[in-house]
Structure 1
Amino acid sequence: MAESIQNRIENNIKSMKRGSIIFPSTFESFGNVEIVKKSLLRLENKEFLVRLAHGIYLYPKHDKLLGNLYPSIEEIANAIAKRDKARIIATGIKALNKLGLSTQIPMNIVFLTDGAPRSIIVGKRTIKFKRTTPKNLAVKGEITSLVVQALKEIGKDNLTDEQLKIIKNHLKLEKKEIIEHDAKLTSAWISKILKEE
């Protein structure tokens, strides 16, 4: 019985793109969750899958020189959010890093979410999902979302002209109506920066 479920899971995964992130819940229609978990464990033992974290597996892409190619922390976080039907926004140092305002790569990444708060350890890094208000997640623009979080991290009195210039360049790529919408959702000083030409 367990064997046939394992074969079904393996065949199903083979039809996916390499680099896909997989959860036991992906196969909940295949049968008992414990059998699914055992099947995934067996597939990991035979090196068909790689375990990224507790209950999170990777159908790895393989490179001749580099070996298995791993997804970014952000890709893993996005896959978890998609599974949980939750929204997430990168905060702090991650937002600064994505906008080119910091070269620091955070070991622990915090995402605001409307899903369940939790921490997930992936290798030596931690993804932390922090529950927030719907208002914080109502921003529509990917760029404005990062800019708002980056500005919160920098703080009103610490913003340099150089940082402001970089932020302005990013905002040029965002649609005007999105900036107008998102500026209403944040504090006055950040709103002013978003709306300035």
Structure 2
Amino acid sequence: MITLYGWGTPNGRKVSIALEELGLAYEVQRVDIMNRQQFSPEFLALNPNNKIPVIVDSEGPDGKRFTLFESGAILIYLADKVGKLLPASGPAHYLTLQWLMFQMAGVGPIFGQMHHFQRYAKEQTYSVERYTAETHRLYSVLEGLLAGNEFIAGSEYTIADIAVYPWVARFELHKLDWSTLPNVKRWYDAVGARPAVVRGMEAL
């Protein structure tokens, strides 16, 4: 059994989607970040960086209890555990990791800052404009990529798609013109129609 400590954020939902896609037994322990539960001593014992998500796998490496934080690391761990959603070797393996890092280093931080300034700091015009422009630039990268790929890392659905999808699912904050992003929209609709993705999004 895997325990997922999370909240209904894109980073939390990456993990719940992966767990559903991989068919792993799990339970959810909600960490109410709006009420600062991530700063509780109990949670800090799991992640001293006070961020969700965290997993605790009762049957980790060598059959021992294993705790892991950082959503990208968790996705790789879960994929390796089951042997799915991350090609085992060759170029496809590294391309999947490349686009996972693109999400971790670009989509997540930039979209997250945009969400923050849109919601809580609208008077900071420069900040809103800066992160909106960078968000749209990242969408243009995805649009060009998906013009030639069915999925983000190529022809296969992988943890790279799982990492990006919950962030794009907050598109209402992104001031998009979907008519300029037909390939992203095609990908978004296809991923969002997967039953495991629906369950994973609803789990948190």
> What is the TM-score normalised by the length of structure 2?
0.30
Comparing both structures, which one devotes a greater share of its residues to strand? 1
Structure label with greater radius of gyration? 1
Say which structure, 1 or 2, has more relative contact order (CA 8 Å, 6+ apart): 2
